[in-house]
Amino acid sequence: MFDPGYFEKMRGRTLRVAQVIPEEVFETSPIGHGFSFGDLLRHMVHIERYMYAENVQGRPSLYDGHDGPRGKAAVLEYVAKLHAEAMTVFRSLDADALQRPATTPGGATMPAWKWLRAMLEHEAHHRGQLYTYLSILNIQTPPLYGLTSEEVRDRKGGGQ
């Protein structure tokens, strides 16, 4: 099933990465095309609020792109606002509502909980893009779960 608390933790990991994006590159793409850092964050929250939150209520998607405020502070504030709106919807879903069908923009129908699980995969995908973009720019990123791969390797077998 869908666990709102887990999603909040997941969003926290995304926001930790977003915090290290320098303002001067926030609205750029380090690969010269495609989404900028800001576009990725606006896209994630627009999809969350205007597609997933609508679909699980039995309504069609209202997603119309990733326009919105620009600049790091404004985007992060906007992300928080739309995320809170979506979480109000998600927290209102009881066990029966999570079993009801949600119809995706592509016309597929599945239980709402399964559609929300796809939302988590969508966020993980775009968070990975943020990490990759930052790596291209040689910007240090926070470890995903508290330890770097080197720290995990160094603790092999010891559990320290």
- Decide if pLDDT at 147 tops 90: no
Share the mean pLDDT of the chain. 95
Is 80 exceeded by the pLDDT of residue 160?
no
List, in sequence order, every residue forming a beta bridge with 101; answer none if it has no partner. Answer: 111
Determine which of 27-31, 84-88, 94-98, 149-153 has the lowest per-residue pLDDT on average.
149-153
First-residue to last-residue Cα distance in the chain = 33
pLDDT above 70 for 128: yes
- Angstrom distance (rounded) from CA 31 to CA 79: 24
Say what the pLDDT of residue 144 is. 79
Our CA dihedral for 55, 60, 66, 70, rounded to 10 degrees, sits at -80
Task: Give me the mean pLDDT over the 25-44 stretch.
Answer: 97
Write out pLDDT tens, residues 52-77: 999 999 999 999 999 999 999 999 99
Does residue 136 or residue 147 have the better pLDDT?
136
Percent of the chain, pLDDT > 90?
A: 86
Handedness of CA 29, 35, 39, 45 (dihedral sign): negative
Query: Which amino acid is residue 51, in one-letter code?
Result: M
Residues 93-112, mean pLDDT to the nearest whole number:
97
Angle of the 37-47 helix axis to the 4-19 helix axis, nearest 10 = 170
| pLDDT tier for residue 159 given thresholds of 50, 70 and 90 | low
**Per-residue pLDDT tens digits for 114-125:** 999 999 999 999
* Nearest one of 8, 15, 17, 11 to 134, comparing CA atoms: 17
H helix or E strand, kind and range, residue 61: none
